[in-house]
Amino acid sequence: MRQIRLTEVHPGMILARNLYSRKGHILLASGVRLTEVYLHKLRRLKVKTLFIHDERYEDIAIPEYLSVETQQRAFSILSSTMEKIHNKEAFAIDDISSIASDIVEELIIQPAISIQLTGIATHDDYTLDHSLNCAIYAALLAYSCSFSIPQIKEITCGALLHDVGKLNVDKKIINKPDRLTEKEFGIIKQHPQSGFNLLVKKRWELSSLVAHMAWQHHEKIDGTGYPRGLQGEEILNYARLLAITDVYEAITGCRPYRKAMNLEEAYDIIRSGLGTAFDEHFGKIFLSKMALYFPGMEVLLNTGEKAIVVSLLENTPRHPIIRLIAYPDGTAYSPPIEINLAENPHLSIVNTSYI
C-alpha cells in the first residue's frame, strides 16, 4: 500500500482505503478500481491524496493512528456540531468532549509517537479535516510534552473547536482563491473573538481553557499576533501549543489560494519562528517528533538511488528505515536492500514523490 498525491493516481489503480464524505458516508470503497470518471470527481472535491494498492510494497504497513470508526465518529460529530452552530441551533458539548477523549485514548497506546498523519482517513471536506488533523497533532504534541492525560484531552477538545468562530465569516472570504483585501483580512481576524464568545457561553459544560484556546491560537510570542497582541506567557500554554500545530496543519494542507507546502518547507517555517511566532520549548519538541517521511513514500537519495520508506523509529523520525529499490541508472536492486538512515549519515533524502 502507498499513499500518493491524487495527481499521481491514474486509471486502473486500486483504492486501498475507503474515501469518506463529510457526513461519514463512503464515497468510494476500498478495492474499487479507479476510472477517469472517479478521478475527475475527486479532483472537483479537491481530494489531496489516496491510499493505493501496490503489490511491490504489500509488506509495508502504513500505521493507523485512529480506528476508522473513531475517525468517522469524530468527523460526523464535528460536522453536526458545526452545522448546528451555523444554523444558530442549540448544541451540546458532551459529544465533542467524548470524541476528544477517545482520540487521546487511542493515540497514547501507539508503540511509537511521531507527528505525521499517514493513517488518517481521507475526506472531502477540507475545513473539517483541518480541525480533526489539528486536534490529532495537538494531542501528539501535548503527549510528547508530558502533559497529563486529562490535560491532553482538554487540549484535544480545544483544538477540535478552535476555529468555530469562522462559522461567522462569509464563506466567500474563507474560500477566496486570491489574496485577501485589508478589509477581508480584518474580518477573518475577528474569528478568534467570535469563537471565544460562542464557547464561553458553554462554560458550565466546557472548561474555560477551551474557549481561551479559540481566543488565543493566533497570538504570537513576540506580541505581533491577534486579536489582542498578547506575548510570551500572557498566552495560555495550551494556546501556545495549539498555535504550532494549527500553522503546521494549515501550511501542509491545500488552500484555495495556494498549494500545500512540502514537509521540509513546513519544518523550516516552524524552526524559523521559534521564539518569535512560536513557543520555543513546545516548538523544539514538535520539530524533534515531526516526521518528514512516512511508510510507503518513494524517495530519492543524494547518491541518485531510489528507495521507499519502510518504517520510522521513535527517536529519529527524520531518519527512517528505507529499502533501496533502484540504482541511479534505474536498474532495480535484486533483492532490495534495507538501510537505517540514522546509522548511515553519508546517505540523505533529497527528494520525495509524495509531498
Cis, bond preceding 227 (omega within 30 deg of 0): yes
- Residue 97, phi then psi, degrees to nearest 5: -60, -40
Question: Which residue's C-alpha cell is 520539530?
Answer: 287
Average the pLDDT over 125-137 and give the result.
79
pLDDT tens-digit map of 198-230: 998 887 788 899 999 999 999 999 999 999 999
Using a 10 angstrom Cβ sphere, with 0-12 exposed, 13-18 middle and 19 or more buried, the burial of residue 8 is middle
Calpha distance 52→15 (Å, rounded): 5
pLDDT score for 130: 83
pLDDT at 124 exceeding the cut of 50:
no
pLDDT score for 121: 47
Fold of 68-289: Hypothetical protein af1432 (1.10.3210)
Strand 122-123 to 26-28 pairing: unpaired
Q: What is the DSSP letter of 112?
A: S
Question: Which residue's C-alpha cell is 503546521?
Answer: 248
* Nearest-10 crossing angle of helices 149-161, 208-216: 50
Average the pLDDT over 127-138 and give the result.
84
pLDDT score for 72: 80
In angstroms, the first-to-last Cα distance of the chain is 17
Count of H-run helices and E-run strands, the chain:
12, 10
Distances (CA, A) of 89 to 113, 200, 206: 38, 16, 18
Using a pLDDT cut of 70, give the percent of the chain over it.
91
Every domain of the chain with CATH number 3.90.105.10 lies at: 2-57
pLDDT score for 112: 60
Q: How many CA atoms lie within 13 A of 12 on its CB side?
A: 2
Average the pLDDT over 166-178 and give the result.
86
On whether the CB atoms of residues 214 and 195 are closer than 8 A, the answer is yes
pLDDT tens-digit map of 218-269: 999 999 999 999 999 999 999 999 999 999 988 887 666 677 788 888 999 9
List alpha helices for the chain, DSSP H.
36-44, 68-86, 94-107, 126-144, 149-161, 171-174, 182-188, 191-200, 208-216, 237-251, 263-272, 280-289
pLDDT tens-digit map of 315-348: 777 889 999 999 999 999 998 899 999 999 999 9
pLDDT tens-digit map of 59-116: 887 777 777 778 888 888 988 888 888 888 888 889 999 999 999 999 888 756 566 6
Asked whether the whole model's pTM tops 0.95, one would answer no
pLDDT tens-digit map of 106-123: 988 875 656 664 445 444
**CB neighbours of residue 219 within 10 Å:** 25
Fold of 2-57: Molybdopterin biosynthesis moea protein, domain 2 (3.90.105)
Calpha distance 344→189 (Å, rounded): 47
Q: 26-40, 82-96, 107-121, 282-296: which range is least confident on average?
A: 107-121
